[in-house]
Amino acid sequence: MIKDSFPFVEELKQLETGSLQGRMVPFDVAKRHITSILFCFVSEMTSSSSLSISNINNNDIQLISKLVILLLGAPGSGKGTQAQLLSKLLDIQHISTGDLCRNEIKIQSELGIIIQSYLEKGLHAPASITDPVLIKCFNNIDQDKGFLLDGYPRTFDQVIEAKTLLDKCGRKIDRVIYIDVSENILTERLKLRLICPTCSSGGHINSKDINEKVLCQKCGIPLEKRVDDSKDDIIKTRISTFQNNSEKLLSEFQSQGILYKIDGAQSIVQVYENIVTSLSLSVKTVSENGIVK
């Protein structure tokens, strides 16, 4: 039986009924449903007390949950999805500069209007605009708990800025997860990506019918294209910007011994398992040296 909490629940029930009656289901429909089921499987797995991931236990989770973890990846790499799943697993806050900026745009604040002008060109808002918001977030987090950084820092200069901001809060970046995805896959993902204007949940356009409305499974309202995903030239600029900035950035974290590279072309479940396993192995090694307590 298909659980009522699953996305596309009505269509999934129809799919289940149709398969029992021997009716054929179009490939694109089946693919969309399978992706939905996989995402729900991971979501339930993160809220479960017993995870089916090797080399991970509750002690590992407690150690990881004290870390400040940076998720790096180009637009469309899936870092936002993984951040949400890890946040549930570790019970720590997910700080997304993208979500913070989009919220300002949504309420059309003075700050949001400025941010929107950058996003419409495929650019990121400067640190002078985002720093005050980030400092407020950092200061509101329990000092005994870690948190996830998603989308910041994204350049070498911002690493220095982030260090200054975190120093003020008595924190530092402990681990960096880099989700690596090829440019071709990134481009295809971004062309199909949608977002809920109310709750920021994600979705995808049906590639066989680009005019089909896709509803948010939480709010029930139509999903929309993000401003920065709306045009091919903007998508190209965003990917190119990340690639130009990432080499020096990744090299810096590699030299610190805190960088973990993950193949982001895999399924959501596989990427999630690899991230958790990498973090688990890292805290096992560090705790043996008496650094994480």
**Shortest CA distance to 147 belongs to which of 169, 116, 117?**
169
**pLDDT at 228 (0 to 100):** 63
Active-site annotation, residues: 79, 154, 193, 226, 238
**pLDDT at 33 (0 to 100):** 47
This prediction's pTM: 0.69
The amino acid occupying position 30 is A
**pLDDT at 288 (0 to 100):** 46
Where helices occur in 107-196 by DSSP H, the ranges are 110-119, 127-139, 156-168, 183-192
**Shortest CA distance to 39 belongs to which of 95, 80, 92, 98?**
80
Cβ partners under 8 Å of residue 52, min gap 6: 45
Q: Which residues of the chain are modeled with pLDDT < 50?
A: 1-52, 208, 287-293
Q: Cis before residue 26, ω within 30 degrees of 0?
A: no
**pLDDT at 186 (0 to 100):** 92
Q: How far is CA 266 from CA 4, 44, 133, 182, 277, in A?
A: 27, 19, 33, 11, 15
**pLDDT at 116 (0 to 100):** 87
**Separation of alpha carbons 253 and 182, rounded Å:** 21
